[in-house]
Amino acid sequence: QVQLQQWGAGLLKPSETLSLTCTVYGGSFSGYYWTWIRQPPGKGLEWIGEINHGGSTTYSPSLKSRTSISVDTSKNQFSLRLTSVTAADTAVYSCARGVATVLRGVPDWYFDLWGRGTLVTVSS
């Protein structure tokens, strides 16, 4: 059974760098888009960005200037770095496995596995 286990610092000060890592256990690392998603307290989901096993990345335009996602295929891990955090970056950050496919001739993407999420609080 494939599982995603994530970890990282949960309390940051403004201007510090958020760093989280997600390890994929029990399944293939290739063929998927490894994704970070966040959810501020009481609010909706926000896609941060993704990386494939080859290292190709795509980021949300609103976060692109501060975001970096990297991959270590030897460890089946991918990581998120978000620089210069502020209180607005306080959220539960989750890793997820993204699937890209074509169904009935139409492109389709979905997240079929999620990590448990890490609450990251930014406070002075």
Report, in Å, the least distance between residue 45 CB and another protein: 4
Instruction: Kindly list the residues in this chain that would bind another protein in the complex (CB under 8 A).
Output: 35, 37, 44-47, 50, 58-61, 94, 98-99, 101, 103-104, 106-112, 114-117
Report, in Å, the least distance between residue 109 CB and another protein: 6
Give Cα separations from 33 to 23, 45, 75, 99 (angstroms): 14, 17, 16, 6
Comparing CB distances to another protein, the nearer of 90 and 114 is: 114
Report, in Å, the least distance between residue 117 CB and another protein: 6
Half-sphere exposure of 92 (CA within 13 A, CB side): 12
Give the Cα separation of 84 and 66 in Å (integer). Answer: 7
Comparing CB distances to another protein, the nearer of 30 and 42 is: 42
Give the Cα separation of 52 and 39 in Å (integer). Answer: 22
